[in-house]
Amino acid sequence: MQHLTKCHAHCNPRRRSVSRLTRTNVAAFSGLLALTLSACGTADSVDDPGTPTIAAPTVEPASLRTPNSAQEAMVGGTFNYDATKGGTVFGGTGLTYGVAFTPSANGLSAVNGRISGTPLAAGITTATIVATDASGTSVTNAFPIVAFAADLTAPILPSASFAYSDVRLPLPRHFTQAPPNVGSPQQADNTPALNAITDAGATLGRVLFYDRRLSINDRVSCSSCHQQQFAFTDTARLSKGFAGGLTGRQSMGLTNARFYTRGRFFWDERAATLEAQVLQPIQDAVEMGLTLDQLRIKLSITAFYPALFTAAFGTPEITTDRVGLALAQFVRSLTSVNSKFDRAFAPSGIPDFPGTFTAQELIGQNVFNGRAGCARCHGTNAHISDDIHNTGLDATVTEVGAGAGRFKAPSLRNVEVRGRYMHDGRFTSLEQVVEFYNAGVQNNGNLDNRLRGQGNAPLRLNLSPAEKDGLVAFLKTLTDNTFLTAQRLSSPFSR
């Protein structure tokens, strides 16, 4: 009671003592006392008329504000990048940073969000920066760092584009004459209406075709397995992929790929269109090793591509669909029209083979079109396959192919320079191929009927040495040296 009296007296000096209170006003005093204690506090605070309330500091939780984009580096070069972008990537109070690398650091390290180092090998490293706030809450941002090989260059392109389109580079009459004129491959043209060859589209396709950036480690391009001097194939039985692994089949020649009625691609026709086919080797684990998203990232941070995509498609947007369209345009531009065989045709489309071919070549042409029956499967003036076939390479089906051991065949144009023949590259010369069809076809249960003779047995041609030599000589008339050396079809890169 003495404590309450002292406090009340201090705060309300006109009332000096509680002793003056009577028993009849105790209730009123009690209410007043409660108000007084609320204003004065305890006895320890009698000298402080009032303590202001201090608001607790605001703690902003960690959040992602402006994510990092893909970054470009070079093997052997210095890389230095602030993955916090001056503290603008994340928001939050008292942030600390850590960085993790997958699948490996590749020569890089990080201190408090700054990444530095010297990339050791070409490839893509995913950097994940982690921001942790004062309360222990974390937020992350992952982005790719693409280390390009040091020897990559930009393409060297002419100021005026090479001609690729049918408007600027029309096909000759013997390729376009309409039925009933025989020999034109026009009806077999697999070019879709929405992806006709344009100069800008095929130019972009040419750059992509020869660019080693389309592989995970910048070691191989499409042209590594499809080399111009070999009719856009490989003389090795199996081609080497980005890490040295071997492809499952021999690289298919691309000459006159534009002309094939079925419109499907690969030896086993697993790709429904050329636009779909050109993207598959890029994604193959042996051949080029990229995902389509990685492909898009690599092209997007390569300085010269936006202008090429703009020229081809109207905007700089880089998509994998556009990559497929451009590559398909370039591959369809690989038409061979200037061989000795082609030069036998007048501008009218009428040929003069007797005035063009040697006697031996004429013998071979007669065998090809006649009793050997080669033209039944390799028809038109583009010498393209009509369908998929089981040609009796083995007595039993060792590879299913497109079904029952059947395979697509490429055009016979430039067949002389290929070096390897059949889907598995088993033959190394035209002479071996001719001898196989002459006397080596196996009695496979799924053998094409055109390769069966009397009693349903495999056909035996019984060609004479002169006929076999003539057939090889005729096949060599399909070699187009202009095609094999044309600059518009060659690499635009210095290396």
pLDDT of residue 28 exceeding 50? no
Q: Which of 441, 424, 433, 430 shows the shortest CA–CA distance to 390? A: 441
CB atoms within 10 A of CB 243: 14
Q: What is the pLDDT of residue 35?
A: 37
Q: What is the pLDDT of residue 183?
A: 87
Model confidence band, residue 59 (pLDDT cutoffs 50, 70, 90): confident
Model confidence band, residue 9 (pLDDT cutoffs 50, 70, 90): very low
For residue 156, give the 3-state DSSP assignment.
coil
Q: What is the pLDDT of residue 180?
A: 63
Q: What is the mean pLDDT of the chain?
A: 91
Task: Name the token pair of 485.
Answer: 């050396």
Could you give the CA distance from residue 131 to residue 83 in angstroms, rounded to a whole number? 11
pLDDT of residue 58 exceeding 90? no
pLDDT of residue 31 exceeding 90? no
Q: What is the pLDDT of residue 44?
A: 45
Least-confidence region, from 57-66, 86-95, 120-129, 463-472: 57-66
pLDDT of residue 459 exceeding 80? yes
DSSP-assigned letter for residue 55: P
Could you give the CA distance from residue 318 to residue 65 in angstroms, rounded to a whole number? 25
Distance of CA 350 to the CA centre of its chain: 43
pLDDT of residue 34 exceeding 70? no
Model-level pTM?
0.87
pLDDT of residue 389 exceeding 90? yes
Distance of CA 312 to the CA centre of its chain: 17
Task: Name the token pair of 65.
Answer: 């504000």
Mean pLDDT over 384-408 rounds to: 96
Mean pLDDT over 140-156 rounds to: 98
Furthest CA-CA distance within the chain: 147
Q: Identify whether the C-beta of residue 18 lies closer than 8 Å to the C-beta of residue 4.
A: yes
Cβ neighbours of residue 100 under 8 Å, at least 6 residues apart?
127, 128, 130
Tell me the per-residue pLDDT of 160-189, one tens digit each, with 9 for 90 and over: 999 999 999 999 999 998 766 678 999 999
Q: Identify whether the C-beta of residue 143 lies closer than 8 Å to the C-beta of residue 69.
A: yes
Least-confidence region, from 6-20, 325-339, 345-359, 435-449: 6-20
Model confidence band, residue 21 (pLDDT cutoffs 50, 70, 90): very low
